[in-house]
Amino acid sequence: MFLAFILNGHTDGYFGKLDLADDIGLCKQTIKKRLGFDDVHLCWPRGAYDENSIKIAKDAGYKVLYTTKRGANLSDNECEHIKRIAIKNSTFWLKNAIYIL
């Protein structure tokens, strides 16, 4: 998931200046080497992505792509734009969010 971005920072030049395909590929290899599993979850740093980025991530083997967009997700097997539900300080919001879903 976004652990890949924590390990290399993507925008801080950890791997030098790489294009997105090389950066994502090297990130995936790093996760596998250091943690021992083939990660299929990717969270876009700061929510920045476009259709080309999605293609690059899918070509690298990522299957579930998380955004920073808020909202409910449908049960349509659409895993390229997973939205989030914001967490609040009380349980009232959760009851309403679950009811909406």
Tell me how far apart the alpha carbons of residues 48 and 4 are, in angstroms, rounded to a whole number. 15
Q: What CATH superfamily classification does 3-100 receive? A: Glycoside hydrolase/deacetylase (3.20.20.370)
Find the DSSP H helices in the chain. Answer: 3-8, 20-35, 51-59, 92-100
CB atoms within 10 A of CB 56: 19
For 8-42, what is each residue's pLDDT tens digit? 344 545 556 778 898 888 889 999 999 999 989 99
What proportion of the chain, given as a percentage, has pLDDT over 70? 76
Q: Return the closest-CA partner of residue 4 out of 36, 22, 26.
A: 26
What proportion of the chain, given as a percentage, has pLDDT over 90? 27
pLDDT at position 49: 86
Tell me how far apart the alpha carbons of residues 26 and 67 are, in angstroms, rounded to a whole number. 21
pLDDT category of residue 84 using cuts at 50, 70 and 90: confident
pLDDT at position 97: 66
Taking the complete model, does pTM exceed 0.85, yes or no? Answer: no
81 within 8 A of 71, measured Cβ to Cβ = no
